[in-house]
Homo-oligomer: A and B are copies of this chain.
Amino acid sequence: MTEVALGIDIGGTNTVLGFVDRNGKCLFEDTIETQIHEDVDLFVKDIYEKVNKALKKFNNIKLLGIGIGAPNGNFYTGTIEDAPNLRWNGVIHLSDIFKNYFNLPVFLTNDANVAAIGEMIYGGAKGMKDFIVVTLGTGLGSGIVVNGQLLYGHDGFAGELGHVIVTPDGRQCACGRKGCLETYVSATGVKRSVYKLLADNLEESELRGIPFNDLTAKMVADAANRGDKIAIQTYEHTGRMLGEVLANSVAITSPEAIFLFGGMAKSGDLIFKPTKYHFEKNLLGIYKNKIKILPSGLNDNAAILGSSALVWKEIEKKS
């Protein structure tokens, strides 16, 4: 009998799910569109049916629990609250809905916390007790581990590094405020920086031919790798903003390492080099040359692995 956890990652567009064993082997995976169901109950029912069908294919599997990563997911309450990129508004008691279908323990937190737990159980943070995972996607999320435990904070909403204000009265943020880190450091932030640089400079750039809506961070990275100066400056600026904020966060939590996770982290030196440079430059003396900035050790199925890791982490806590 193989014991597995069901990992579910709810994204704005797609929801991925899968069975993962204690060693991080993914035995089954599936995807459903998140937005097809206006009613969240039908969305969970859809997952329930897919999981049941899958379970029938395996005759030696035992499902121990369900781990869910979701935007604005709250570990303490099992709810998602006003997630801006989901169509289910208000406070959704997602864990409870899952428990109506599955007779299993359900653990839920936000996607960045899930990435941090995945890093700790299966990735590069194995054996570390104090580290930070920064997820770079459309926005910027973070999961902070302190003393071997995820930092949830008093209300379950700790670790919103993307909403540290870095430039007072800076760029407008989807959160309603201005100057948040994620308006600079994220796929969207990169696009905005490109357009700012195109506006401020006369430098020729292949990016001048691309409308804002069509531009991706990947296209900017490719242009930078071809030597496009605007694209290079964009990544330099992005890394500076990230390095400076990370240096400040170190003065708060003093981690052993910081992991960068997600699409942008895959652009390698382009983002790591300026980030590391400005990070070290801005660190208080006692932290200098001690803290590693690393790419995430999770690769394929990272989202499913991360959410399933939540189950293993909570089971270990109880035993």
Q: Residue A161 contacts which of B154, B159, B247, B252 (CB distance < 8 angstroms)?
A: B252
Docked-complex contact A254 and B152, CB < 8 angstroms: yes
Docked-complex contact B177 and A282, CB < 8 angstroms: yes
Q: Which residues does chain B contribute within 8 Å of A249, judged by CB atoms?
A: 252
Docked-complex contact A287 and B157, CB < 8 angstroms: yes
Docked-complex contact B175 and A154, CB < 8 angstroms: no
A100 within 8 Å of B by Cβ? no
Docked-complex contact B255 and A176, CB < 8 angstroms: no
The A interface is mostly helix, strand or loop, or mixed, namely loop
Report A142-174 CB contacts with B as 1/0, cut-off 8 Å.
Answer: 001011010111111111110111001000000
A315 within 8 Å of B by Cβ? no
Docked-complex contact A157 and B254, CB < 8 angstroms: yes
A147 vs B290: C-alpha distance in the bound complex, in angstroms?
25
Docked-complex contact A146 and B151, CB < 8 angstroms: yes
Residue of B nearest to A281 (CB): B177
- Knowing A165-B244, A282-B177, A285-B176, the reply to whether A290 touches B155 (Cβ < 8 A) is yes
Q: Which residues does chain B contribute within 8 Å of A244, judged by CB atoms?
A: 165, 168
Whole-angstrom distance between the Cβ of A206 and the nearest chain B Cβ: 31
A286 vs B153: C-alpha distance in the bound complex, in angstroms?
13
Q: Report, nearest first, the 6 A-B pairs whose CB atoms are least far apart.
A: A153-B254, A158-B254, A154-B256, A130-B154, A160-B251, A163-B284
23 A-B contacts, Cβ less than 8 Å apart? A130-B154, A146-B146, A147-B152, A151-B254, A152-B254, A153-B254, A154-B256, A155-B286, A157-B286, A157-B287, A158-B253, A159-B252, A160-B251, A160-B254, A163-B284, A164-B252, A165-B248, A175-B285, A176-B285, A177-B282, A248-B248, A249-B252, A253-B253
Q: Residue A253 contacts which of B168, B247, B252, B254 (CB distance < 8 angstroms)?
A: B252
A22 within 8 Å of B by Cβ? no
A81 within 8 Å of B by Cβ? yes
Binding site for B on A (CB under 8 A): 72, 81, 128-131, 144, 146-147, 149, 151-161, 163-165, 168, 175-177, 244, 247-249, 251-256, 282, 284-287, 290-291
A251 vs B164: C-alpha distance in the bound complex, in angstroms?
6
A184 vs B263: C-alpha distance in the bound complex, in angstroms?
38
Residue of B nearest to A252 (CB): B252
Whole-angstrom distance between the Cβ of A240 and the nearest chain B Cβ: 10
Whole-angstrom distance between the Cβ of A66 and the nearest chain B Cβ: 24
Q: Which residues does chain B contribute within 8 Å of A287, judged by CB atoms?
A: 155, 157
Q: Which residues does chain B contribute within 8 Å of A286, judged by CB atoms?
A: 72, 81, 155, 157, 160
A93 vs B144: C-alpha distance in the bound complex, in angstroms?
31
Docked-complex contact A248 and B164, CB < 8 angstroms: yes
A249 vs B252: C-alpha distance in the bound complex, in angstroms?
8
- Knowing A147-B147, A164-B248, A244-B165, the reply to whether A253 touches B130 (Cβ < 8 A) is no
- Knowing A146-B147, A164-B248, A165-B247, the reply to whether A153 touches B255 (Cβ < 8 A) is yes
Whole-angstrom distance between the Cβ of A183 and the nearest chain B Cβ: 13
Whole-angstrom distance between the Cβ of A243 and the nearest chain B Cβ: 11
